[in-house]
């Protein structure tokens, strides 16, 4: 029996059966689930209607794609109104192993200062690798268990980014506020990072397969992120920048749409210098 409540916030967008699997894996692990939908198509909405029949599952329909940051903040407001002590943020393409949440809460019980907890990620069906538990620089959104005291201290997610770098920017604010981010080795999350793809093992840490539009957000938001944190987190930004540079080269060789991707990456950088932020115009349709 938990001494404090945990609400899972799942952001969905045309997830269909993926959203179903994500929610079903969490039903026995959290006190309630809120799925915040960013204007999914009719088929995905039918899946959400079936999920809404489950006890302790609620659906918040935004009606259009407002972005991940907006959806997370809408869910966070709901969690605050419900008096939740913890929020578990989830992507729709992640499946928690049984006991994942309890493992993270156990880590908090051992260290009361561990208020932002990250799971052991297993990507695309790859074998589970041994991980070093303890303090990490950042946590991705999916599977991040965050105590409400952190939100009260650092605020909400950055809606202006729309998608990409939202989790990294939030992580840096968490650390700047004096909190730590703790990876819990025995809390396992099966996660899809981009579409399935084949690249040499040497490059797997740098390359993920995304659409050209997603590349736009990756590079534009990296520029905004770097501008904000270059002085305070120079080494982190430098490593992040090198990874983006390597990705540019890998896109040329491994991306199915290299020209379109590079064009959108360049447009993202250009839009940064033009001061454009929020949704790319196509997303507003």
Distant-in-sequence contacts of 55-59, Cβ < 8 A, 24+ apart: 56/27, 56/31, 56/32, 57/23, 57/27, 57/32, 57/33, 58/32, 58/33, 58/34, 59/34, 59/35
Residue boundaries of the structural domains of the chain: 6-191, 201-284
Lowest mean pLDDT among 63-67, 198-202, 281-285: 281-285
pLDDT of residue 228: 95
pTM metric for this prediction:
0.91
pLDDT at 2 over 60: no
pLDDT at 193 over 70: no
List C-alpha distances in Å: 277 to 6, 91, 115, 266: 33, 22, 31, 15
Q: Is 187 exposed, middle or buried (0-12, 13-18, 19+ CB in 10 A)?
A: buried
Using alpha carbons, select from 171, 34, 29 the residue that is nearest to residue 95: 29
pLDDT tier at 191 (50, 70, 90 boundaries)?
Answer: confident
Q: What is the mean pLDDT of the chain?
A: 91
pLDDT at 196 over 60: no
Two structure tokens written together for 27: 């039903």
pLDDT of residue 131: 65
Whose tokens are 């990456």? That residue is 265
pLDDT of residue 285: 41
pLDDT digits (tens, 9 = 90+) for 7-33: 999 999 998 899 999 999 999 999 999
Residues in the chain: 285
Using alpha carbons, select from 79, 31, 83, 39 the residue that is nearest to residue 57: 31
pLDDT tier at 73 (50, 70, 90 boundaries)?
Answer: very high
pLDDT of residue 65: 95
pLDDT tier at 198 (50, 70, 90 boundaries)?
Answer: low
Of 269 and 201, the one with more pLDDT: 269
Using alpha carbons, select from 57, 108, 119 the residue that is nearest to residue 86: 108
Q: How many CA atoms lie within 13 A of 65 on its CB side?
A: 15
pLDDT at 114 over 70: yes
Using alpha carbons, select from 266, 229, 272 the residue that is nearest to residue 244: 266
Q: Are 254 and 195 in contact (CB under 8 A)?
A: no
Considering the four listed CATH numbers 3.40.50.300, 3.90.550.10, 3.30.470.20, 3.40.440.10, the one that applies to the domain covering 6-191 is 3.90.550.10
pLDDT digits (tens, 9 = 90+) for 80-93: 999 999 999 999 99
Two structure tokens written together for 162: 């729309």
């Amino acid at each position: 029996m938990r001494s404090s409540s945990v609400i899972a916030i799942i952001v969905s967008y045309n997830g269909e059966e993926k959203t179903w699997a994500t929610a079903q894996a969490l039903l026995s692990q959290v006190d309630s689930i809120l799925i915040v939908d960013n204007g999914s198509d009719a088929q995905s909405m039918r899946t959400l209607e079936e999920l809404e029949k489950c006890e302790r599952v609620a659906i918040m329909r935004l009606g259009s794609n407002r972005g991940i940051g907006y959806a997370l903040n809408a869910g966070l407001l709901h969690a605050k109104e419900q008096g939740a002590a913890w929020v578990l943020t989830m992507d729709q393409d992640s499946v928690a192993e049984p006991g994942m949440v309890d493992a993270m809460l156990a880590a908090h019980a051992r260290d009361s200062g561990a208020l932002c907890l990250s799971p052991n990620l297993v990507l695309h069906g790859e074998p589970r690798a041994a991980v070093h538990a303890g303090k990490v620089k950042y946590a991705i959104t999916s599977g991040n268990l965050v105590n409400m005291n952190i939100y009260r201290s650092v605020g909400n997610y950055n809606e202006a980014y729309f998608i990409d770098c939202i989790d990294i920017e939030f992580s840096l604010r968490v650390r700047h506020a004096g909190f730590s981010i703790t990876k819990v080795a025995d809390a396992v999350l099966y996660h899809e990072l981009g579409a399935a793809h084949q690249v040499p093992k040497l490059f797997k840490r740098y390359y993920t397969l995304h659409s050209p539009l997603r590349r736009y957000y990756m590079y534009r938001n990296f520029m905004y992120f770097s501008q904000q944190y270059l002085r305070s987190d120079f080494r982190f930004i430098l490593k992040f920048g090198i990874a983006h540079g390597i990705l540019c080269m890998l896109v040329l060789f491994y991306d199915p749409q290299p020209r379109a991707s590079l064009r959108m990456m360049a447009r993202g950088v250009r839009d940064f210098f033009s001061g454009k932020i929020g949704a790319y115009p196509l997303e507003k349709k």
